[in-house]
Amino acid sequence: MRSGYVAVIGRANAGKSTLVNVLVGEKVAIVSPKPQTTRDRIMGVLTCEDYQIAFIDTPGIYKADNLLNSVMQKATTDALGDVDMILFLLDAHNGVSEKDIALIKKMKGQKVPVVLVLTKIDIMPENLLISCIKQLADEDIEIVPVSARKGKNLNELKKVILKYLPEGDKLFEQDIISDRSEKFMISEIMREKILLKFQKEIPHGVAIIINEFSLRENGKVYDINLDIVCEKPNHKAILVGKGGSAIKEVSSFARADMEKFLGRKVFLTTYVKVEEDWRNSAFLLKEHGYGKGNT
Ligand SMILES: Nc1nc2c(ncn2[C@@H]2O[C@H](COP(=O)(O)OP(=O)(O)OP(=O)(O)O)[C@@H](O)[C@H]2O)c(=O)[nH]1
Ligand SMILES: [Mg+2]
């Protein structure tokens, strides 16, 4: 039996959460086309007969321009401690930049093995993939190209990971797939739908507060009441939409996913409120669950 922790690191939007979800076989982290989707570390556990891998998904490496971003970057740096190996994910479908090379060099300075995973190869012309691999040859790092979306080369990736994991017992019970609560996932599902519908700064300035999360006595329906916190009155107007149309639409997508996730009917009520510049308030960040560990 082999078991261990694997940090999944990379620039924002590299495909970290998508890969973790596919490898674990369940959605443990939300995904969106916008950078900075993941805000905290999330563990996803893959258990098989003779191995168990605990993946640590992390916020993407990004230049912090507010306190929330700094908290997110700290979550990523902290994930590098106490893992058995690092997967450094690189989305090279537009080529490899100097900045990418600099990050690879920095990762190689860590005290655990690092494997470079080239993501999204389904949208990468083959000649570009070959030239990227040639370009990266000088870096003297093991490279595994994958596509999480098309399920390409994932068995190969698992084999490579297992080479670096120590012999040992299971770290978690068989049925554990994440370290996060249902309540956390519910708030993340709401945030995901907002990330998918709204543009620019609006989704980045949103936090979700769950006021109620309870199963009715009949065991068939969850009552969920949540606040969508945004940063500015004009963001609130956009989130609510004309006659409440935007919030209604986004809540309906969220409710459908929540029902799928919980396997029960959901009665969802949402309220949009403004907390000016909450992303720069240490107090409000903690209030909204950032930078205080798992919930
Ligand atoms: N074509 C293609 N798209 C992918 C693949 N993996 C991820 N994506 C897309 O890339 C975008 C970002 O994916 P995420 O998994 O959220 O990326 P991330 O690295 O977790 O991003 P952050 O949490 O913001 O750092 C989404 O639109 C995904 O659907 C892939 O294998 N192929
Ligand atoms: Mg992510």
Distance in Å, CA 168 to ligand 2 centroid: 29
Q: Is the CB of 204 under 6 A from ligand 1?
A: no
What pLDDT does 291 receive? 77
What pLDDT does 81 receive? 86
Q: How far apart are the first and last CA of the chain?
A: 30
Q: Is the CB of 33 under 6 A from ligand 1?
A: yes
**Across the strands, what pairs with 119?**
91
Least distant ligand from the CA of 118: 1
Q: What is the CATH number of domain 2-164?
A: 3.40.50.300
Contacts with 131 (C-beta within 8 Å, 6 or more apart), sequence order: none
Separation between Cα atoms, residue 257 and residue 190, nearest integer Å? 9
CATH 3.30.300.20 boundaries in the chain = 182-287
Q: Is the CB of 76 under 6 A from ligand 1?
A: no
Return the percentage of the chain with pLDDT > 70, whole number.
99
Distance in Å, CA 277 to ligand 1 centroid: 28
Closest by CA to 219, choosing from 159, 263, 285, is 263
CATH architecture entry for 182-287: 2-Layer Sandwich (3.30)
Give the tens place of pLDDT for each residue, 79-134. 888 899 999 999 999 999 999 999 999 999 899 999 999 999 999 999 999 999 99
Low-confidence ranges of the chain (pLDDT < 50): none
Q: Is the CB of 32 under 6 A from ligand 1?
A: yes
Q: What ligand 1 atom has the least distance to the C-alpha of 10?
A: 19
- Residue 256 is classified by DSSP as H
- Global confidence as pTM: 0.95
Distance in Å, CA 229 to ligand 2 centroid: 21
Contacts with 283 (C-beta within 8 Å, 6 or more apart), sequence order: none
CATH 3.40.50.300 boundaries in the chain = 2-164
What pLDDT does 293 receive? 55
Q: Is the CB of 31 under 6 A from ligand 1?
A: yes
Q: Whose CA is nearest to atom 30 of ligand 1?
A: 120
